[in-house]
Amino acid sequence: MRSTFIPGLFLLALLITQACRLDEVVQEALQAAVVVALDSLAEELTAEQLTDADAYTERLQVYLGAHPMFYGAAVALLDEARTVTTSLYVYRTADGYQVLDLVQPEYDIDEQDWITMPLAANAGVWTPPYFDAGGGEIWMITRSVPVLDSGNIIAIVTTDLPVDAPDQ
């Protein structure tokens, strides 16, 4: 009995290790897809020069429709002082899409990592995992990319991927 238990336990450990590695490979591939898609969206938004909230909402819904593995997307429009003036967030629900305006006093949008990190880096960045209270209400990571016009950051555009809650 003992001689079959140890190889069986070893096989189980090997299978679990391989499954975990497969999850990592899938997550890395999904993150690579976000980088390409979001950089393209940022370039398109620079060229399109959308003028109202409805146009941005529609554009984000089309973007998410083209990328069914992405959970949500946002655009935060900035003024000359790099303060968020408008921020529309579109995310998936069981019934389709939900749209939120994230410029709410309780959300404190100008202090969110997904805003501050790309502004500081002047480049696209990934946030560490966080629980998006006031937004998607799930654990996620966010890729944020500045949208430029004549070298000035006029907006931040994002894509969210769901993640498991980190071990506490």
* CA dihedral (101, 107, 110, 112) positive or negative: negative
In terms of pLDDT, which residue wins out, 6 or 72? 72
* pLDDT computed for residue 63 by the predictor: 97
d(CA 157, CA 151): 16
Kindly report the number of other CB atoms within 10 A of residue 48's CB atom. Answer: 12
For residue 143, the Cα-to-chain-centroid distance in whole angstroms is: 5
Report long-range pairs for 28-32 (Cβ below 8 Å, ≥24 apart).
30/69, 30/161, 31/126, 31/141, 31/143, 31/161
Q: For residue 152, what is the DSSP state?
A: E
Q: How far is CA 22 from CA 16, 26, 28, 56, in A?
A: 10, 6, 10, 36
Give the separation between CA 50 and CA 44, rounded to whole angstroms: 10
CA distance 147 to 44: 9
pTM: 0.83
Tell whether the model's pLDDT for residue 52 goes beyond 90.
no
Mean pLDDT computed over every residue of the chain: 87
89-142 per-position pLDDT tens digit = 999 998 999 999 999 988 899 999 999 999 999 999 999 999 988 778 899 999
The whole-number pLDDT of residue 51 equals 81
